[in-house]
Structure 1
Amino acid sequence: MKLQKETNIEFEKIAIKRIDKFPDRPTIIFLHDSLGCIKLWRDFPFKLGELTKCNVLVYDRQGYGESCGFSYSKRNNYYMEQEADILSELLDFWQIDDAILFGHSDGGSIALITAGKYPEKIRGVIAEGAHIFVEDITIKGIEEAIQLYKTTNLKSRLEKYHGAKTNEMFWAWAFTWTTKEFRNWNIEEFLKDIQCPSLIIQGGEDEYGTLKQVTEIVRQTKGESTQLVLSGVKHTPHKEVPEIIFERVSRFIDQKMR
């Protein structure tokens, strides 16, 4: 089964890890960051599933981990919206109609777009370190990552998870975000159509975005939106302070997903 001729993605070639053990409970779908994949979530999704008594599905987007390669030769300003469209089709393919999206970084942005474009399919959103527009601090963080990729063992570390796709994956992210054209990227238009509850998480010391990302998401989202800003935490709260994330996300799902 393919999404569209222009994407040429076979859903069977999207790698997933799924645990269904709680009948009549929602499924939390985990959306990785710009360099992530299923394996880099480690056991966090499955621990959260047990805590919340929710089913879990983690997947590698096209071009990442064990999924198929990219369906396009060059990213444009709308690649995250395209991934939201693909996710909508995947929800039908996976036969999931009660999804809670947990997205980190790029995955958080994709979660917000999906909830805005397809509100009838999404019961809740947890967005961690998401971006809705480009900031100077974001570009600075990516430029620093580029230097690490060129001068350290970052590439070989990523190759453990992405294999031969690593170089294409890294530069698809790093080059796109640092182009002049991408400075105009903005997804605020989708926020007003998000009807489900959302929990917006960000580290107070996030090296890729300021707290303006959080305040604007919460301010503009139509559905009830709660912010969680964690002092002293950087861009990956679920790895840096997992116990806090477990507790707050569990409470959010318990209170809002009944």
Structure 2
Amino acid sequence: MALQWAETPQARMQVQGKALEYACWGPPPDQAPTLVLLHEGLGSVAQWKGLPQALAKATGFGVFAYSRAGYGASDSVALPRPLDYMTREAEETLGAVMDAAGIMQAVLLGHSDGATIATIYGGSVSDMRVRGLVLIAPHFFAEASGLDAIHAAGTAYREGDLRAKLAKYHRDVDVAFHGWHDAWTDPDFTKWNVADVIDHLRIPVLAIQGRDDPYGTVAQIDEIETRIYAPIETVILEGCGHAPHLEKPDVTLAAIHEFCARLWRLEQQEVAIA
């Protein structure tokens, strides 16, 4: 194995000169497919809460999660982040992380920024290891309502208790927050749009969106359905905000389980030779 496959607190892997924290659950990559978890713009390994364990139990897949540089217990980064930081993470780093983890067959499961990174990877990088995408609250273009919510988060960070809450999870909380917030609130970010990567997806996709998500509307899901040429399943959850896996865990887990089970049944089918 390329690294120790175990749920080891504060385990770190070396990727591109950075030490990144990671954790693993369930069977290793040489025994089962792997769900690779890509966290949100203020997330980390720990902030997935009980989802990785639940996924491993429900799907029988291995589950691998890591904190991107600048988050959790991973090495820090210089600020400001470039406005194309999600594209850079997808095209320059994610493949190297999966190499270091020994990933052999994967479903990328991303939340928010992580879902965008997963989509960019699936649509931009030729990697036969990746067999499907699970996108939770993805975003492909800036929306005025989402930018308003990010400005509000900035106020909560400066004047409220958001900084204290995030400091429980991030070694350098100011880098974690400002790397995300300051990119999204840059005036030029209103023009940010990566939806063209959807056109190049050729693997099945499950997209999950909360109807009441302050950071992105169902227009993001509509964009996938309009542009994609691969199989797509969507789940729109009423009375749910930005984190369906935490706010509606049962229905979210069931949807992911069914998607993965169906995907792997298709993978295992023998192709008849005429």
Aligned to 1:128: 136
1:127-185 Cα distance to aligned partner (Å, 9 max, x none): 1111000000111110111111111121111111112x111221111111011111111
Structure 2: distance between partners of 1:34 and 1:182: 15
What does residue 3 of structure 1 align with?
Answer: none
How far residue 9 of structure 1 moved from its aligned partner, in angstroms, is: 5.3
Q: Which residue of 1 aligns with 2:19?
A: 13
For 2:156 and 2:18, the matched residues in 1 are separated by 34
Counterpart for residue 4 of structure 2: none
Code of the residue aligned with 1:103 in structure 2: it is G
Alpha-carbon separation, structure 2, partners of 1:255 and 1:121: 17
Confirm whether residue 194 of structure 1 aligns to residue 201 of structure 2. Answer: yes
Alignment of 1:217-256 (within 5 A): 217-256=224-263
> Given the alignment of the two structures, is residue 76 of structure 1 paired with residue 72 of structure 2, yes or no?
no
218-227 or 35-44, larger mean C-alpha shift: 218-227
Distance 2:193 2:177 in 1: 21
Between the aligned partners of 1:57 and 1:113, the Cα distance in structure 2 is 19
Q: Structure 1-normalised TM-score?
A: 0.92
Match of 1:137 in 2: 145
The alignment partner of 2:234 has SS state of strand
Bigger fraction of residues in helix: 1
Consecutive unaligned residues in structure 1, runs of 5 or more:
1-7
Which of residues 51, 61, 68 is equivalent to 1:54? Answer: 61
Question: Residue 108 in 1 paired to residue 123 in 2?
Answer: no
Retained in 1: the 8 A contact 2:42–2:177? yes
RMSD: 1.6
Deviations 1:15-59 (A, max 9, x none): 110135265421001111011101111111111111000001010
Query: 2:11 aligns to what?
Result: none
Partner of 1:180: 187
The aligned counterpart of 2:71 is 64
Aligned partners of 2:96, 2:142: CA distance in 1, in Å? 27
In 2, are the aligned partners of 1:127 and 1:199 still within 8 Å (CA)? yes
Q: Matches of 1:132 and 1:170 in 2, distance apart? A: 20
Deviation at 1:97, TM superposition (A): 2.6
Contact 2:76 2:175 in 1 (8 A): no
Structure 2 unmatched ranges of 5 or more = 1-13, 266-274
In the comparison of the two structures, how many residue pairs are matched? 249
Alignment check: 8 A CA contact 2:67 2:74 kept: yes
Contact kept, 8 Å, 1:115 with 1:121, in 2: the verdict is no
Q: In 1, Cα distance between the equivalents of 2:31 and 2:219?
A: 37
Distance (whole Å) between structure 2 residues aligned to residue 11 and residue 195 of structure 1: 32
Identify if the C-alpha distance between structure 1 residues 47 and 220 changes in structure 2 by more than 3 Å, giving closer, same or farther. same
